[in-house]
Amino acid sequence: MSDPVPGSPSSGIAEGEPDEPGMRTEFARYLPHFSLMSKQLRQTSLLIESSVVDVCKSFQGIAERAKGTVGRTAGFLSREGDGDSGKTSFEGLIENCSGTLIKILSTTEEAGEVSRRAIDRIHQMDKASQLISTALAQLEQIDRENKMLAMNMRIEAAHAGSNGAAFGVVAVEVVSQTERSKKVVSQVKGLIGGLRELAQSTLADLKQTNEQDLKRVERCRQDVDESLRDMQVAHDEMKTVLTGMTEENALLANDIGSAVRGLQFQDRTSQQIAHVVDDLETLQLKLNTRNGAAPPDGFVSGEGFSGYTMREEREIAGIGGKESAAGDVELF
Amino acid sequence: MRKVMIVDDSVSMRQMVGYTLRQGGFEVIEAEHGQDAMDKLQGSAVDLIITDLNMPVMDGITLIENVRKQPNMKSKPILMLTTEGLATKKEQGKAAGATGWIVKPFDPEKLLQTVAKVLP
């Protein structure tokens, strides 16, 4: 004989009522699964939250490192440099190098200018010695004329006889003075000659050195200009790289922002799981009570299922209401 | 530096909102629920509060009502950041004294723009 169907007149059991003890046994078998499902859902929610928290921490690190790298590079390149450490910026280094090199070139050019002035003065000294030589030549001419004069004086003294004796003495003295003058002139000529040779050789050396210095200065100037151009090119390239890095940083920030928006699924998922867990626990409680267990204090049958807080939940449950879309912002 | 308090029972939400605000140059204080926020407000002045609605211990609406009772907090901007988008709930928040209502998920750039708008 089959078991009476609940609700049938012969069953003695009202429709919807559990038939003792079959239904209770059936309930009792399945009720523990509600606890298990609740625990598993909670665990799942916690695992998801833990992963999202780790990802958020990574974003923080990525953003800070990117910002730090760009900031340090910008500080290195900028004119201000790094005030905290006292280090000079790259632009500052270029300016310092440029200033130092220009000072070195100026100093070298000044040295060259001194050489040129020395050359000019030696030229002037040479001209002066030429004039002295000319004056000596004139003195020699005077000596020769004096000698001729003295000869004539002696001849006239001889013609004058005893009256010309004094004249003869003067003539002899003139010849003597002339001879002495000739010796002095000869000495001076020798000295002038030596001085002129010295001046000529010094002049030749100075000219050679000056020409070499000029060539070296010119080569240095070209090398300096080339080095400064290379440094400027390197600086410009670094600035271009920095601009690229700054743009990449902005794009990275945008990407992280998009990821932050996407990761918020975890919060909504956790809430939905929590609502399902709450409902499972409520269901378990209701079925336990229905199965004959004593209800907890304050428990009211027919109530207790979770109020939905998200549009998606209300849509599934068929509950309507005017509501804003996700991401909406309203200021009161 | 301006200081913002974030109130949310979700660790990940506090992290994401905190990251966004720090990128925007703000200092951030976190609280797990309304009561935690009230306790922390005793010891620290903030320029703005951003709070979730559904939290254990003390929910967002109750938090706003309690904050508005403080003499120095009557005009402090308070933004609600919640998955709840129902018009009736918004009205409750507005009546309690909320300055604005943002429905999750939030857009980081929009959040910073909103914060800039509400801060004096």
Domain segments of chain A: what residues? 23-59+264-317, 90-245
Q: Would you tell me how many other CB atoms lie within 10 Å of the CB of residue A301?
A: 10
Q: What is the pLDDT of residue A7?
A: 44
How far is it, in rounded angstroms, from Cα A62 to Cα A4?
A: 70
Determine the pLDDT at residue A167. 79
Could B101 and A332 be called an inter-chain contact, meaning their C-beta atoms sit closer than 8 Å? yes
Q: Could you tell me where the DSSP H helices lie in B44-86?
A: 60-69
| B41–chain A Cβ distance below 8 A for any pair | no
Inform me whether the C-beta atom of residue B39 falls under 8 Å from chain A C-beta atoms: no
Residues of A in contact with B99 (CB under 8 A): 331-332
* pLDDT tens column, A101-116: 788 878 878 877 888 8
Architecture of domain A90-245: Orthogonal Bundle (1.10)
CB atoms A263 and B16 under 8 Å: yes
* Cβ contact, residue pair B102, A328, below 8 Å: yes
Of residues B22, B86, B100, nearest to A330 (C-beta): B100
**What is the ipTM for the molecules in this complex?**
0.87
Substitution target from B7, B14, B15, B81 for chain A, most A beta carbons within 10 A: B15
Residues 6+ apart with CB under 8 A from A88: A81, A96
Pick A267's closest partner by Cβ from B10, B94, B100: B10
Q: Looking at CA atoms only, how far is residue A3 from chain B in angstroms?
A: 49
**Among A9-13, A34-38, A133-137, A308-312, which is the least confidently predicted range?**
A9-13
Q: What is the end-to-end Cα distance of chain A in Å, rounded?
A: 71
| CB within 8 Å: B12 and A263 | yes
Interface residue A249 vs chain B (CB under 8 A)? no
Range in A33-37, A38-42, B19-23 with the lowest mean pLDDT: A33-37
SS3 A2: coil
Q: What is the mean pLDDT of residues B38-61?
A: 95
Cβ separation of B94 and A332 shorter than 8 Å?
yes
Q: Is B13 on the interface with A (CB under 8 A)?
A: yes
Query: How far does the CA of residue A329 sit from the closest CA of chain B (Å)?
Result: 5
All domains of chain B in start order, with CATH: 3-118 (3.40.50.2300)
Residue in B7, B10, B89 to test binding to A, most A beta-carbons within 10 Å: B10
pLDDT one-digit tens code per residue, A205-253: 888 888 888 888 888 888 888 888 888 888 888 888 888 888 888 888 8
- The burial class, CB within 10 Å (0-12 / 13-18 / 19+), for B110 is middle
Q: Report d(CA A245, CA A106) in Å as an integer.
A: 40
**Confidence category of residue B9, pLDDT binned at 50, 70, 90:** very high
